[in-house]
Structure 1
Amino acid sequence: MNLNDILNIPPYSLDKEAKRLLLNERLQVLTLQHYERCSDYRRMIDAQKLDINHLPEYDKLPFLPVRLFKEFELCSVDKEEVVKTMTSSGTTGQQVSRIFLDRDTSTNQTKALTKIVSSFIGTKRVPMLILDSSGVVKNRNMFSARGAGILGFSMFGSKKIYALDEEMQLNIPLLREFLEEHEGEPIFMFGFTFMIWQHFYKQLLATEYKPDLSKGILIHGGGWKKLIYESVSPEEFKKRLSDACGIDTNNVHDYYGMVEQTGSIYMECECGHLHAPVFSDILIRRANDFSLAPYGEKGIIEVVSVLPESYPGHVLLTEDEGMILGEDDCPCGRKGKYFKIMGRIKNAEIRGCSDTYAAKF
């Protein structure tokens, strides 16, 4: 099955065995492709004594630690084919990951993201409220993770406004005008978790302005580190936002994703679980020996994706800890694994869009 066929599959429709067959075939193809086209990747694979002509199932393929993208320029296409270079979030002084995209990989990431998000908010483009500043989106050829997130999700909006000005202050006159113009219509909102909390929610409280966003759908992500310090749980986050602007808590969706696998995001369902779509999967590995942990056991998150063709990012070990809760039996009805994030592994760098921004506070 080629990638175009995979991208036509509804994102939460395959059961465990069907998805495993799909991922085995596709990830073996990608492993061989990157082995042939990326010399650094080839040396890493050779060092692990992998028989490239007899590749194992995907949960036994060698993973690359995401940190390697800070140390090496890993690319599987000629440099003149690179149309976009994406960089991870990072605090001052941190190295950032550099991800090189050719036109096909960038297009396929967009297709996957569209399929995933549309299954939650519908296919019709609606007015969009971006809970950030337009200043984030500058160089279209060198995207930060934050800017890329905003631009990626912007394709779901028709008329779009930024709720914050260049000084990260809530632009209440603009917000009033926007909501009056689209009164009674569904509103799509996107932002990064801490920025929503710090610059949208807190400023609403300070001004006592209560916009009517009862028809709103919010997708947010990028890290919880600062909010955990403030003793704000995901449930409390949703409730406070609902109190401040009337949004239905069932229409507030967190997501987990990273610049190293853009497009392969993991959305939170109405039951509060993060879900793996058919385009990607999650494995949990024990820290002591990297063996696979069973469902219900905390460990280091490994993510796989069918999308990366221009760089060897198809099998990655993250610096996050999590736990798989189940597979194919979430009460929301979506098939695939569902899981939760437990936090960063000890001594890992801060890297989420929200957490790197929150470090200034």
Structure 2
Amino acid sequence: MQIDDYNNAAVFSQFPVYGLNSAEKQAFLQQRLNWLTHHHATHCPEYARLLTCIGEVNSPMCNIEHIDQVPPVAARLFKDYGLKSIKDEEVFRLMRSSGTSGRQSQIYLDADSAKLQSQILVKTLQHWLGKQRRPMLIIDAKETMQNKNGMSARAAGLQGMSFFGRNHCYALDENMQLRIDEVKSFIEQYHNQQIFIFGFTFIVWQQFIQALQSLGLKFNLQQAILIHGGGWKKMQQQAVDDKTFKQQINAQLGDVSVHDYYGMVEQTGTIYMQCEHGHLHCPVWSDVVVRDINSLAQLKNGQQGLLQVNSALPTSYPGHSILTEDLAVIHGEDDCPCGRLGKYFTLHGRVPNSQVRGCSDTFS
């Protein structure tokens, strides 16, 4: 592969989702993230000032030798500043985080950025779902996607995932209550097929699984797959961990393969899917670093710290390297028992006293 291919979206968007080893991925991301750092320093004045403040004063090029050295932007800065590397008239879509306390992150996309993020999301999810659309049960209300004041992260997630399904059934009404007759009819029609179920974690738990339990209803699905995401804060408050969540899903619904995922509006299109061994996996277009919560020094595998997420995708705003407020542990690279290449990790909650954010944590 030629160096120029690293910045050619038509080329790198076709990479195998988990198919590059560490050395190959390092070569791609080093070149791409260097280019993005230079691009955003040139086109986003606030980002250029940030680089100056952290010591990258001599050149906006910030020529990194390893992807772990990319200077990250703190996630909460997207709430305080309109960070964008495009002109106002080029804004194609405005994305907002789902936080209900304080300000929301605002992410500016031009048409090319939105297209690339969509392509990568599709390619990633096709790895898990296949290319054929499945009958889809959406654990949310149709009204969630009808907000005209900019698309929230939750609405964007629902819309993005809905492309992978057909004959959609929304399990909840506008008051977020179970539409039991519609759900029963959908499952009766498709229970022998590979149903795709999607929802945000706490909503799936409280508004769907617990509602079924209260009604004494169980189903016997065959070869269904549930993909869920969003914060675990409220789940932890109810002492519900990943194992318990999966057990209750299977108890109520039958043969369902359950996969959590991690993602954020600040890096739309980049998602970290959970494999059958409980690990979140970096696709080829992204990488993660774990840093000490006080010194921000990079930690070794097996040590818990702040998660930094790097992505090859954001070109319309400086979101290619973000320091989150989430705690994580990296377990390894290229050697997960599931066989997928790339780093794999687990999440361990949020930094104490950090702002609440997340698609299902914000539902009340």
| TM exceeding 0.5 | yes
> 1:69 aligns to what?
78
Contact 1:3 1:306 in 2 (8 A): no
184, 192, 203: which is aligned to 2:192?
184
Task: Check if 1:265 corresponds to 2:274.
Answer: no
SS of 1:356's partner is: coil
Residue 93 of structure 2: aligned partner: 84
Given candidates 69, 72, 78, the residue that maps to 1:60 is 69
**2:120 equivalent in structure 1:** 112
Pick closer, same or farther for the CA change 1:216–1:54 going to 2, 3 Å. Answer: closer
Q: Identify the residue that residue 251 of structure 2 maps to in structure 1.
A: 243
Match 1:149 to one of 157, 161, 172: 157
| Corresponding position of 1:281 | 287
**Retained in 2: the 8 A contact 1:109–1:262?**
yes
**Aligned residue identity for 2:343:** K
Deviation at 1:182, TM superposition (A): 2.3
SS in 2 for 1:252: strand
Confirm whether residue 329 of structure 1 aligns to residue 335 of structure 2. yes
Give 5+ residue unaligned stretches, structure 1. Answer: none
Output one character per residue of 1:24-63: Cα deviation in whole Å (capped at 9) or x when no partner: 0000111111111111111111223323345113211211
SS at 1:146's partner residue? helix
Query: How far apart are 1:131 and its partner, in Å?
Result: 0.4
CA 96–115 in structure 1, closer or farther in 2 if over 3 Å, else same:
same
Q: Which residue of 1 aligns with 2:11?
A: 5
The CA deviation string for residues 97-149 of structure 1, in whole angstroms up to 9 with x for no partner, is: 00001111111111111111111111111111100111110136711111011
- 1:295 corresponds to 2:304: no
CA distance in 1, matches of 2:81, 2:253: 45
Off by >4 Å, runs of 4+ in structure 1: none
Contact 1:194/1:355 (8 A) holds in 2: yes
Partner of 1:163: 171
Matched residue, 2:323: 317
| Aligned residue pairs, count | 355
Amino acid aligned to 2:230 = G
Q: Is the 8 A contact 1:204 1:244 kept in 2?
A: yes
1:292: Cα distance to partner? 0.7
Task: Give secondary structure in 1 for the equivalent of 2:211.
Answer: helix
Deviations 1:137-195 (A, max 9, x none): 01367111110110011110111111001111111111122123324211101000000
Alpha-carbon contact 1:129-1:162 (below 8 Å) kept: yes
Residues 239, 54 of structure 1: alpha-carbon distance in 2 compared, 3 angstrom cutoff: closer
Partner of 1:216: 224
Residues 140 and 309 of structure 1, relative CA distance in 2, 3 Å threshold: farther
Q: Is the 8 A contact 1:214 1:245 kept in 2?
A: no
Aligned residues with identical type, % of pairs: 45
SS at match of 1:355: coil
TM (norm. structure 2) is: 0.95
- Distance of 1:66 and 1:335 partners within structure 2: 27
3-state DSSP of counterpart to 2:222: coil
* Match in the other structure for 1:193: 201
Structure 1 stretch 64-73 or stretch 39-48: which is displaced more? 39-48
Q: Quick one: distance in 2 between partners of 1:184 and 1:25? A: 47
What letter corresponds to residue 124 of structure 1 in structure 2?
Q
**Cα deviations by residue, 1:301-343 (Å, 9 ceiling, x for unpaired):** 0000011011000011000010000110000000000000011
Choose from 208, 214, 231 the match for 1:206: 214
Contact kept, 8 Å, 2:290 with 2:307, in 1: the verdict is yes
1:255 corresponds to which residue? 261
